Amino acid sequence: ACIANSDSPAGSVDSCLCNSGFYGDGVTTCEQCQAGKYLFPVSLTCSGSCPCTPASGPRTGSFSDGPGNTVANQHCEWLIAAASEVTVRFPVFDLQNPHAWDCDFVIINECESAACAAPVEIARLSHAGTDSSTPYTSSTGFLQVVLDVSEYNGVIWTTPGFEAAWSVAEMGECAACPAGTYQDAAG
């Protein structure tokens, strides 16, 4: 069973999450937020032509460009939003275009909000052999991954693609709500 003030949407002790109004790792601690404070939930949102299932709650997860090979002319975006540091690694990465070097990219951005209106580029990856142990981290709590695959001189090509694993640092203290405000949507 999960500890007091937590629940497991997946039905596993390993995936226990603190209930609304509480903060902590969900496994060993779930402390109540003080009156007038909240804790931003962890969420994964996505857009574009790649398959994706948005998620809310887990502190870890994974996503990819989809099953099979990546095809030219794809643009996909994933955004992980949390109340603490977000890190992504690439256990599988092979976007090397056989016809031209560097016309396909995975861009990792740090953002100030879920809108990611002014992204700050952390890394731009484009070839086989990316080190799977290299962490790419956003300290703001908003990390965006963008896949941008173009054709080269009219040639449509495919590559194996990538798999990404993300994680969120243990949740910190609850944040104060600005006086007289609330938000009725995630992010």
Per-residue pLDDT tens over the stretch 97-146: 655 555 678 999 999 988 899 999 999 887 766 777 899 999 998 999 99
Q: Say what percent of the chain tops pLDDT 90.
A: 23
pLDDT at 158 over 90: no
Stated pTM of the model: 0.70
Least confident piece of the model among 23-27, 31-35, 57-61, 161-165: 23-27
Nearest to 123 by CA among 172, 68, 84, 162: 162
Owner of token pair 């404070």: 37
> Mean per-residue pLDDT for 74-93?
90
Q: What is the rounded CA–CA span in Å between residue 127 and residue 119?
A: 22
> Mean per-residue pLDDT for 160-166?
87
